[in-house]
Structure 1
């Protein structure tokens, strides 16, 4: 995602935090937690959403530079956020069959 899409996600998050989380994390535990926090109070929902977006874009930039985070970010349950969106939805490439032995 480019800078324009990051700004758009931030603007959406300012208006409705769960929508921003759904964009970066998809439907999962992080979204459910954010919905609950937003219901409990608008500010906790924003804090949680911006934290998830920060981790996502930070990991995305690290992966683009070739660095992989060694540790999982605390409080983040989505693998998509943990990896910065890299490898999300990819299919494992098949390995080549072994060559037969010649006697």
Structure 2
């Protein structure tokens, strides 16, 4: 399912692909790759940005909104995990 934030990211990627890559990955190697791809050819920069957006959408689908973090190379992992390896519930710092 496409959310409003994803539509905004797609619009940003159409206008300036490195900005969309920066919003998703922060200051990382993927941002540098996207800048270089955009310099060498506008279409490769677009394809890379759209690939990052796709991977982010898949992470949201798998881990829930905000339940993931970027680990590089287009990969995401759960933000919070339990010792058994499962995803811990988000309780915003409350103590039980």
**Same fold per superposition (TM over 0.5):** yes
Task: State the shift of 1:56 in Å.
Answer: 1.1
Question: Paired residue for 2:24?
Answer: 24
Distance (whole Å) between structure 2 residues aligned to residue 57 and residue 49 of structure 1: 12
Aligned Cα root-mean-square deviation (Å): 2.7
Q: Point out 4+ residue stretches in structure 1 off by more than 3 angstroms.
A: none
Q: Which has a greater percent of strand?
A: 2
Instruction: Tell me if structure 2 keeps the 8 A contact 1:18–1:35.
Output: yes
Task: State the shift of 1:83 in Å.
Answer: 1.9
Question: Paired residue for 1:79?
Answer: 71
Instruction: Tell me if structure 2 keeps the 8 A contact 1:63–1:83.
Output: no
- The structure with the larger Rg is 1
Question: Paired residue for 1:53?
Answer: 53
Counterparts of 1:1-103 in structure 2, within 5 Å, are 3-64=3-64, 78-79=70-71, 81-83=74-76, 86-87=78-79
Query: How many pairs does the alignment contain?
Result: 76
SS in 1 for 2:45: helix
